[in-house]
Amino acid sequence: MKRKIKSIGSILKLVSQLRREGKSIGFTNGCFDILHPGHVSYLRKAKKYVDVLILGLNSDRSVKKNKGPNRPFNNEKDRAEVVAGLEAVDYVVIFDAPTPYDIIKKIKPDYLFKGGDWRKQEVVGRDILESYGGKVVIVPYLKGYSTTSMVKKICRKACTG
């Protein structure tokens, strides 16, 4: 099996090769801290648009900055291994910035995907894609699933015995 977890340098070389082969490239990002059916559904739907789906994974430092000092629950290496194991994900690249703006600018994907809880005008990197005719796609999310709701459920059940 190909090694799906790549450094930023490796992913840029790979993207260049994929473009020469005429492959369509999609990009999405997130913490993917506690994987749930909503994540899997979202990634499957995104993959239907493209030949290659690259997942930008927020580093531990990035997650702490965005979500607070108690997150992530799982470290970046473990989270990368889990999402790399999903069929819909072709490659994983960990990024350390609070947003994926710089990596989107470098990769220049054909499609940029975000979940249904986002509005198109809020999507980081939308301006980059629109500058060269790329598409931003808001993927409907599976209702009832979020990491926050799962954590609350775990806490309720664990605390009540």
Residue 21, judged by CB atoms within 10 A of its CB (0-12, 13-18, 19+), counts as exposed
Domain boundaries, the chain: 5-160
Superfamily of 5-160 according to CATH:
HUPs (3.40.50.620)
Mind listing the pLDDT tens digit for each residue in 57-102?
Answer: 999 999 999 989 988 999 999 999 999 999 999 999 999 999 999 9
pLDDT at 156: 79
Mind listing the pLDDT tens digit for each residue in 7-22?
Answer: 999 999 999 999 999 9
What share of residues in the chain are helix, strand, coil (percent, to 5)? 45, 20, 35
β-partners of residue 141 are none
State how far the alpha carbon of 14 is from the alpha carbons of 46, 118, 136, 159, in Å: 20, 29, 22, 47
Gap between the Cα atoms of 132 and 65, Å rounded: 31
| Residue 6 confidence (pLDDT) above 70 | yes
For residues 35-53, give the mean pLDDT: 95
User: At residue 130, what is the residue type?
Assistant: E
| Residue 1 confidence (pLDDT) above 60 | no
- The CA-to-CA distance between both ends of the chain, in Å, stands at 42
State how far the alpha carbon of 54 is from the alpha carbons of 69, 70, 79, 90, 135, in Å: 27, 27, 15, 6, 15
The pLDDT confidence band at residue 31, using thresholds 50, 70 and 90, is: very high
User: At residue 26, what is the residue type?
Assistant: G
User: Under a CB-based contact definition with an 8 Å cutoff, are residues 137 and 46 in contact?
Assistant: yes
Mind listing the pLDDT tens digit for each residue in 113-159?
Answer: 999 888 899 999 999 999 999 999 999 877 776 777 777 777 777 77
| Residue 161 confidence (pLDDT) above 80 | no
pLDDT at 137: 97
